[in-house]
Chain A
C-alpha cells in the first residue's frame, strides 16, 4: 500500500480489544485486518445462545461464552480479537483480567467515529433500524469518558483512530515478542549462576572454546566462539563473589557484540533497583557488589543499569525446543508476557513458607513439568546437575565453593570448572539432591490414567481406553518391578493367517505370503522357544544402575515378565542371572560396541540427545564421593561412558518355572483327568462290545480321544523340567533392544543374531571354565526369500522338522528389522505354531476334522492391529529411553503397552 497507511503495532500474541460505538465499523475493521477465526464478535455469540444477534437479554450469556472461547484461544497461544462495543469500563476490566490470566498483553484499538456517521450506518441496516434513539448518544458519552483511562486500566498499547479516514488508513503490524527468539538455533553454551566469580567464568568460557577480547588493562571485555556458538547466561551474574563488575563487563561486552544472550536473575533485578536509587537491603551479597561497583566509573554504573533494564525475563530459542530463564518456568508461561511470568522467571515458585534458615521454600515446579521444550535454568544451588522432566538446573554453587557449569545445546553435554575457593559461606547447606535426582521421584498419576493418547513417531497416535488404563494401573502398582527398571514391555504377536492345510491350523506358507504381500522379500525364521517371555535389563555395575537409572538399592538390573512382574521372587536369583549375563557381555566385548559411539557429535536427533544420561552421570560436582576424579567429562570429545547397560528380549525356559501354577491347575489337571477316566471307560466299552452290544463306533471314537489326550500330555511335558536354583534354567535372547544412547530394535536381525551368538558363545566359555551348564541358549534360524518357492519350501520343511521334534514353532521376521509396507508399518514378526504345540492352546482334540473345521473361523484383525500398536509403543519407549527423555515419557509408552494388553482379543491367537 501507499505511504498514507498508518502502522498499528500489535504483539503477535495478545488480546486485542476493539472499542467503539455501534455502527463505528468495528466488525468491518476486524474482518479486514484479522482472520475470521481470530475475531470473537458479541453479535455472533448472542446469535449462538439466543438465535438473534440483537437480543440484548442474551448479552450476559453471550459474553460468558465469548470469554470462555477467548480463554481457550489464549491458553493455546492464539491472537484473539474481541469485537464488541467495549465502551464501558466494566466490560473492558473483564477482558484485561482475561489477558492477565493467560499472561498475554491486552491491546485496545479505539474507533472514535462521529455519531452522525454511526447513526447513518445503523439506519442502513434493517436489523438495527429500531435501535432506540438514546443508545448511540449514551455509548458516545461512555466512549469519550473511556479514552483517557485505557492505559490506566491495564492496556499495554492503545491505538486511537479518530476519524473514518484514520480507520481506513490503519494497517495492523504484528510484532514479535521480545522473548521469542525461536529463529535462533545456536548452537548455544548455556552458563549457570556466576555470582561475581570472574576467574571461573573465564576458565569455563575458555574450556568451551571462547576467545577473549581484552582492554588496555587486560580485562576481558568480550568473547566469541570461533565456531559461531552463542553463550546464554541464566542470570545471577553478580553479588557475593569477588568480581561482579568484571563479570558484568565481560557479559555486557558479549551481549553487545551479539555473541551472547542474557536473562536477568533476581540478583540483577535487585541491583538494578539499587542503581535506580530505590531503597533495597544490602543482603545476600549485594553489599559486596555495591562496594566493588563503587570504584568503577559513573559511566560504567550507568551502563550496568541500562543493561539490566534491557534484560528480558526469558527466551524461547531453537524453534521452541529450548527455554532459558533464571529460576525455571512452567510450560504455560513459555513465551508469555506478564508481571507474573517475569516474577516466576526471576524467583521461581515459592510456597509462601520459609524454612528453618529463614529462606523461602521453593515449590518443586520441575517435578510437575511435562512440556516438550527443555527448560534450562539456575537459581537453586545443587551439588550436581541432572535432568528431570526435560529441565535442568545449572547452578552448581560456584560461589559457595562448588563448580560453575555450562550446558552445550543441542548436544546436551555438561561442561564445568571447579571453584577456586569458597568465596561465600552458604546460609544453608546445598540441598543434597537436585529435584528428582536420586530421590526416586515417583511418576505422576496424571501421566498414565484415564483415556490417553500416546504419540508415536512410527504409527501415529495410539489411544488407550480408560478401563484398560485402570487395569494396567493395578498391575503396574501392585505387581510390577520398579518403574525405573521397567523401560520396555514387549508387544503381543499375531499368528499367521489360518491355514487350509489338512490337519493344520497354522502353516508356514501363510506367514511367508503375508510378508511377500507387504513387499518384504527377505525374512528370517527364528525358532520359537517354549518358555516364558522375559525382558532383561542388565547394568555393567551398581554404579551405572544408580547413575543412569537412579536405582540406589544396589541391584544391577531386572528380569521381568511381559506384564512387568519380576520373574524371580528371590532378588538374589535375579542378580545371579544378571551376573552371568554381565559376564557374557564382558566376554563378547559388547559393552563398548553397542553403546552410542558418537555422544559428542553435533546435530539434532535421538543419538545426540542420547548422551544426556551419560553427561548426567559425569561427576558434575563433588557430590559423589568416588567421583571427584574425572575432570569435566563434557570437554573431551566422545568419551565412552564408563558404565554400560543392555536391554534384551528373551525367552526363559523351562515354561514350568514361571507357569507352574497354571500348569498344575489347568494343563496337568486336564491330563490327569483324562488319564484317570479313559482306562475305565474303554474297558467298559470293550466289555460291552464283547457282549455283542453295538458300541463299535463309540469305542473307536473314545480310543481316538484317549490318543489325543495322551498327545496333549506329551505336548505340555516337553516344556517342563525340574530345575535346581539356576541349574536347568535357560535364557534364550532373541533381540537386543537398547544400549546407552541407542535403540537397537530397528536393526536387521542378522546383525542381532550375530551379537547374540557371541553372547551365547561367551556364556558357554565362561560356564565351561566354571564347570557348570551354560545359561544362554542359541536360537536356531533360517533365512528365507519369500518370492522364491524353493526357499519357502525349505522354510516349511525346516518348520516341520522343528515342530515334529517337539519345538513350539517359529517366528518369521523381516530380515531388515523395522519395515514399512504400503499400508504402514509391517508386523515385526508373525508366529507359526506347531501342530502338537497347539494342543496346549486349542485343547487335546483340536486336530479332529470336525473341530478344526470350526476352529478355522477365527478372526485375526484385532490381534494384528493390537500387535502393531503395541510394537509402535514399544519402539517409542525405546526411542525415548535412548534420547534420555524423562522417565514419565518412557513410562507413558510402557504403561500404554500394558494397558493395551488388557484389550479384549482372542487369547488363543
Chain B
C-alpha cells in the first residue's frame, strides 16, 4: 500500500521537476478515491537536489471483504479478499497497481502538458517498495527488473522476529535504482507488481489483455521472462473462477479445521505448468494397464480413482471396452475429467459407454459389482495404511471384479529421480511408497485372502539395480466367492492384517515431501489428440 519514487537533480534540472512529470504538486498532499479506499500522494522531500513522491493507498479492509463476497451464500471463503485478516491493506499488491494507474494516469501514458520534454527525459530514479509480496522471492524480483536496466536491491522480510524458525515471509523490501523515463518506470511497476504478487486477481477484467499490451509496449517483447509475466498476469484467471465456484464446500471444511483450502482440495494437480516431462511414464503406465486389460479380455471396466480421466479417455478409444466407469472421490477431479472428455458433446452411443461417478473405496458400493475388471492406478499410496484393508475389502470382496490391476510407485526407483531428495516420497499426498518386496508381499497376501492369483509386472524401464519406476500387480479371480481362507494365515490375522507387509520406511510425514514432476502431473495430450482425431 506504499511506495516512493525519488529522483535527484541540480540547479539546471531540479529534482522537483518530478512533480511536473507526475502531475502532482510537491507542496500538496492530494487525495484520490479508488474502489478499495483512498489513495494519497505527498512529497516527504522536495528540494532541487532530491525529490521524493510517496503513494499511499489507505485500503478499507471491511469494504474489501464485502466486495469480495457474493459468490454463493455466505460468501466465498477461498477468495483472498473475503478474509478480514488480509495483507492487502499493507502490501504493495495488485491494488496498489490499480491505484498507480488511477493516480498517475497521464504520467503512465507519458503525457506532461506543462513540460512535454520532461516526460521524454530519462531521470535518475530510485523506487522503494517496503512490503512487496513476491512469489519467487528476491531471486525473481531480480530476474524481472534487472533486464529492464534497474539495479535491484531486495531483501526478504522476516515473518515474525519472535519466531525465527518460521523463516522469511513472502514479502521483500525492494529498491530499484536506475535512469529511466518516469512513464516507463510506472509501467514496469504497473505490470510487475501484480506479477510478483501472483495472488488471485478478482479484478482481472476482459480488457486486461489490452492493458497488458499497452503497458508492456516497448519492453515486454524483449523481456527474457516474458512467458512467465504474461502467464501470471493473465492465465490463471479462468481456472481460478471455475475453481472458486467448485470448491466452496471443501474450502469451508478446511476453514473449520484451521487448514488451508489447498491442503484438502488437492485432488487436481494445479502444477499444470510443467506437463511435458511426465508424459513418457504416465503414457507407459497407461499402455501397461491397457495391455493387462486386453490380456484379461475385459470389456466392462472400472477406473477406481480415475482422477482427470486420462485412462478413461484412452479406453474410450478402443471399442473392446464396452463400458467404462470412472470413479473418483473428488468432485472437482470428476468435473475436470468430464470437461476434458467432453462428455456433454459425445454422440449418444459413445456417451452410453462411459460414466463418471463420485465414489469412495473407504466404503463398499453396490454400483461397482459385476464388472470384468477394475483399475487402481496410483491410488493405494494415497490411502493411509490403517485404512487400506477397508479398500481391499471394498474392491476384492464387495465389488469383486474378475481382474484387478493395481499400480503404485516403486520406492527403490526414487534414487533415480534427480529432483527428489533422499527419503522423500514423490507426491505430498502419498501416505507411503513401497519397494518391490513390500508391494509383492501385499499383493500376495491380498490375493490369498480374497481368492485372486497375482502376477507382478514392471512398468517403465526396469533398472537392474532398483527396478522399474512403477510396479504393477495383476490380480485374477480364482475362487468363486470372497470367503477368507480358513487356514492358518487367516486365523492369525489379528495384528498382521492391517500392518504393512514389512516395514514401511517411506511412509514419512507429509511435511518432508517434495513434489516431483514425473508421476504427479497429468498430461492431457492423448485426450486432446483423440478429440481432434475422432470427432
Task: Identify the A interface with B (CB < 8 A).
Answer: 351, 353-356, 361, 367-368, 428-433, 438-449, 467-468, 470-479, 482-483, 492, 532, 546, 551-555, 561-563, 565, 569-570, 655, 658-681, 683-688, 691-695, 698, 701-702, 705, 709, 712-713, 717, 720, 722, 840-846, 851, 854-855, 862, 898, 901-908
Contact = CB atoms under 8 A, between A and B. Distances in A.
Nearest to B367: A445
A432 B491 contact: yes
B257 A429 contact: no
12 contacts: A444-B363, A445-B363, A471-B252, A477-B362, A483-B362, A570-B509, A655-B258, A668-B166, A668-B169, A672-B169, A677-B2, A709-B90
Contact of B160 (A428, A546, A552, A672): A672
Contacts of A693: 27-29, 42-43
A843 B364 contact: no
A445 B160 CA distance: 46
Interface of B: 1-2, 4, 27-29, 40, 42-46, 52, 54, 56, 58, 61-62, 66, 72-75, 77, 83-87, 89-92, 128, 130-131, 133, 157-160, 162-163, 165-166, 169-171, 173, 248-250, 252-253, 255-260, 263-264, 267, 329-331, 358-367, 382, 384, 386-387, 389-391, 393-394, 398, 479-481, 483-484, 486-487, 490-491, 493-495, 497-499, 509-511
A330 to B, nearest CB: 14
Nearest to A664: B166
A664 B87 contact: no
Given A468-B249, A552-B494, A671 B160 contact: yes
Nearest to B163: A720
A448 B113 CA distance: 70
Nearest to B38: A698
A717 B166 CA distance: 13
B495 A552 contact: yes
A445 B357 CA distance: 12
Given A672-B158, A685-B42, A695-B29, A561 B84 contact: no
A442 B253 contact: no
B165 A845 contact: no
A906 B75 contact: yes
A676 B131 contact: yes
A887 B66 CA distance: 43
Contact of B250 (A443, A474, A675): A474
B77 A907 contact: yes
A902 B331 CA distance: 14
Contacts of B85: 666-667, 670, 712, 840-841, 843-844
Contacts of A478: 264, 267, 329, 382
B145 to A, nearest CB: 19
6 shortest interchain CB distances as A-B pairs? A471-B249, A904-B74, A843-B84, A687-B44, A902-B249, A353-B480
A672 B360 contact: no
Nearest to A443: B363
The residue among B90, B133, B248, B483 with the most chain A CB atoms within 10 A of its own CB is: B90
A445 B361 CA distance: 9
Contacts of B160: 668, 671-672, 713, 717
Given A351-B481, A473-B329, A681-B130, A676 B171 contact: yes
A561 B483 contact: no
Contact of B40 (A683, A698, A842, A908): A698
A440 B497 CA distance: 10
A440 B393 contact: yes
B192 to A, nearest CB: 18
Contacts of A470: 249, 331, 358
Nearest to A383: B491
B163 A688 contact: no
A667 B159 CA distance: 10
B454 to A, nearest CB: 18
Contact of B252 (A354, A678, A686, A903): A903
Given A681-B130, A709-B90, A845-B89, 5 more contacts: A432-B493, A438-B494, A681-B2, A702-B58, A713-B160
A673 B133 CA distance: 8
Contact of A843 (B86, B255, B366, B389): B86
Nearest to A485: B386
A845 B358 contact: no
Nearest to A546: B494
Contacts of A552: 493-495, 497-498
B91 A440 contact: no
A688 B44 contact: yes
Contacts of A668: 159-160, 163, 166, 169
Given A449-B358, A681-B130, A851-B62, A475 B364 contact: no
A473 B331 CA distance: 10
B296 to A, nearest CB: 20
A471 to B, nearest CB: 3
Contacts of A445: 359-360, 363-367
B386 A677 contact: no
A443 B386 CA distance: 15
Given A688-B44, A841-B84, A680 B130 contact: yes
B359 A670 contact: no
A431 B43 CA distance: 87
The residue among A430, A442, A661 with the most chain B CB atoms within 10 A of its own CB is: A442
Nearest to B490: A432
B497 to A, nearest CB: 6
B329 A681 contact: no
Contacts of A532: 257-258
A904 B78 CA distance: 12
A677 B390 contact: no
Contacts of A438: 493-494
B427 to A, nearest CB: 13
B362 A440 contact: no
A843 B74 contact: no
Nearest to B54: A684
Contacts of A429: 486-487
B258 A904 contact: no
Given A668-B166, A673-B131, A442 B394 contact: yes
Contact of B363 (A448, A467, A471, A561): A448
